[in-house]
Amino acid sequence: MEDRIKQLRADQAKDALAAERVSQATATDISELRARWYKNEADGGLPISQKRAYLREALHAVILHPAGRGRKPFNPDLLEVIWRE
């Protein structure tokens, strides 16, 4: 019985966190987020952990297509970004 109670409490906490994320997403001002994204953390910008969290929520996958044989410089055109819907 105690294991079931622990599981239900964990599910409740997870649902509360998901609801909080949805409310934050609707309240987020994109222009402010964009401005803070490019600022240094010391100047009020976003820390790298928060940037990673935003990307983790927005992206489903990133596919890197082969560049061919030999050592070639990085080409961002070979990246295919798949966004979450």
Note the pLDDT of residue 71.
Answer: 86
Percent of the chain surpassing pLDDT 90: 41
Note the pLDDT of residue 24.
Answer: 67
- Residue ranges per structural domain of the chain: 2-83
Split at pLDDT 50, 70, 90, the class of 6 is very high
Mean pLDDT, the chain, whole residue set: 87
In tens, the pLDDT along 16-52 reads: 877 777 666 666 678 888 899 999 999 989 899 989 9
Cα→Cα distances 5→2, 11, 16, 43, 61, Å = 5, 10, 16, 45, 35
Tell which wins on pLDDT, 57 or 76: 76
Cα separation, 41 vs 13, in Å, equals: 30
